[in-house]
Chains A and B, each alone.
Chain A
């Protein structure tokens, strides 16, 4: 998912869940900051590096892919962008080395997403933002794992985009190119993806790189053969999934605010979006690279307030200029504490199942 959903749509969901304009902005800022908080950024503001929630392209290019390097990558990507759906998943005839990776496949409504939401309850708004990022990504990034793996994350030429046509769908084979500099060509279904690398642990095989940005586009519907899927075609309906992500965020934030005592998976607050259903559908289904303007306009109509753009360094000065013992009480300080706590919780859960792929929680 991109800024359109992690920032603007999260603002809308927070507002619909009952938060004020200012609170919603803080939640949305934190949700989007998860995609920006790299070690490079943390080093710049002299913050603890283990709070990193993402890795920059340059950081990844230099990342080691030995056991220690893989654990480092997996800790970040599994915890914040590819939350595992089922850490005890079974597949007959597979060795532990395979299962350790297979069990990291991301998906919605797993036990860990419930733990993520529960963990954010009673914590600062920054933790709520982090949880909403993680929850939303379980929908967008489902069926890929947050660890480099050819046998899990690879895709091949069997990849078709689906266009609504009468009662069914018209298929068009997707052309993948390796030109990161040119934008995806939505009109002709030409998308950029990462190179095929036969090395199991190549960084090119991390997450949905082999499927390009298709999982990040709310309008996209496609079918393909996931590497782990035993030759069964998988159809991904992003418009349906993005609506579920949005309504599950509303429900989760209502739980965090105390409206419900229990957070249950497979529960969506469809009632909250009933008056706006057609509007939301039209934003989600519009074929565009990024839907910032549409979500922003919708959010401003909802709250009657202006939603400022996401400014990465908005809180840098507050953090860098505060005294050491005060840093934890700043906006970024609370984000950092929340990120470290959430990461520790996820690594701990992975570790509990005997899976050493994410290492140990410190």
Chain B
């Protein structure tokens, strides 16, 4: 990981922390809409980036279709997120929980894929995915009490933020070419 990538990871972690604290301190409609707008924009940019990269480069690469599928799904999520206006808070929360659960499942699948190819770094990914998924389920259980669900969701965000920041400081294996 380059220095820039590490800084990006730390910044993302800090943003997640800020969002979680914002939710816990002031769970107003404006906060919800701001989060949804940021999420929609971020997902759309990421999705478009992946799709463009696929058509320019990755379609000639072994396993490159995964990048296209990933891009389309992320873009789709982004567009759907952007359409969430004038929706009751509970549905937005449900949606956010859904994204959390989905990213947990994706993380677990990626960890399993990594385990097939290498040994070692998949464990952190795997546990991160499982915890994400478990917290999303807990949110769903307490969904009738929106404040409790929001608190659980915020704890999940804080957990993910910490993992992001920790990952940024992890040593990465680098093959010295001779």
Contact = CB atoms under 8 A, between A and B. Distances in A.
Given A35-B178, A65-B2, A194-B175, A154 B61 contact: yes
Interface string A194-224: 1111111011101111001100100000000
Given A198-B67, A202-B1, 5 more contacts: A65-B4, A178-B118, A180-B174, A199-B5, A228-B61
Contact of A175 (B2, B64, B119, B173): B119
Interface string A89-104: 0010111011000100
Contacts of A81: 177
B64 A195 contact: no
Nearest to A63: B2
Among A1, A93, A98, A228, max chain B CB count under 10 A is at: A98
Interface stretch (B51-59, B85-93, B133-141, B143-151): B51-59
A150 B172 CA distance: 17
Contact of B61 (A151, A175, A192): A151
Interface stretch (A15-23, A54-62, A235-243, A338-346): A54-62
A342 B57 CA distance: 30
A196 B61 contact: no
Nearest to B67: A198
A356 B117 CA distance: 34
Contact of A6 (B5, B56, B174, B178): B178
A227 B67 CA distance: 13
B60 A209 contact: no
B120 to A, nearest CB: 5
- The main secondary structure of chain B at its interface with chain A is loop
A200 B114 contact: no
A63 B175 CA distance: 15
A194 B175 CA distance: 6
A228 B64 CA distance: 10
Nearest to A199: B5
Contacts of A212: 175
Nearest to A81: B177
14 contacts: A60-B174, A94-B60, A150-B58, A151-B57, A151-B60, A154-B63, A177-B120, A178-B118, A194-B173, A194-B175, A195-B121, A209-B177, A230-B62, A231-B62
Interface of B: 1-5, 53, 56-58, 60-64, 67, 114, 116-121, 172-178
Nearest to A176: B118
A72 B121 CA distance: 30
Contacts, number: 119
Contacts of A286: none
Contacts of B172: 178, 194-195, 204
A172 interface: no
Nearest to B6: A61
A77 interface: yes
User: Binding site of A, secondary structure by majority: helix, strand, loop or mixed?
Assistant: loop
A74 interface: no
Contact of A193 (B53, B61, B173): B173
A98 B56 contact: yes
Given A97-B57, A175-B119, A228-B61, A61 B175 contact: no
B120 A61 contact: no
A156 interface: yes
A177 B118 contact: yes
B174 A194 contact: yes
A225 interface: yes
Contacts of B60: 91, 93-94, 98, 102, 151, 228, 230
Nearest to A32: B178
A154 B57 CA distance: 13
A208 B56 contact: no
Given A62-B2, A228-B61, A180 B173 contact: yes
Contacts of B56: 95, 97-98
Interface centre among B4, B116, B177 (most CB of A within 10 A): B177
B116 to A, nearest CB: 5
A84 interface: no
Contacts of A95: 56-57
B28 to A, nearest CB: 36
A229 interface: yes
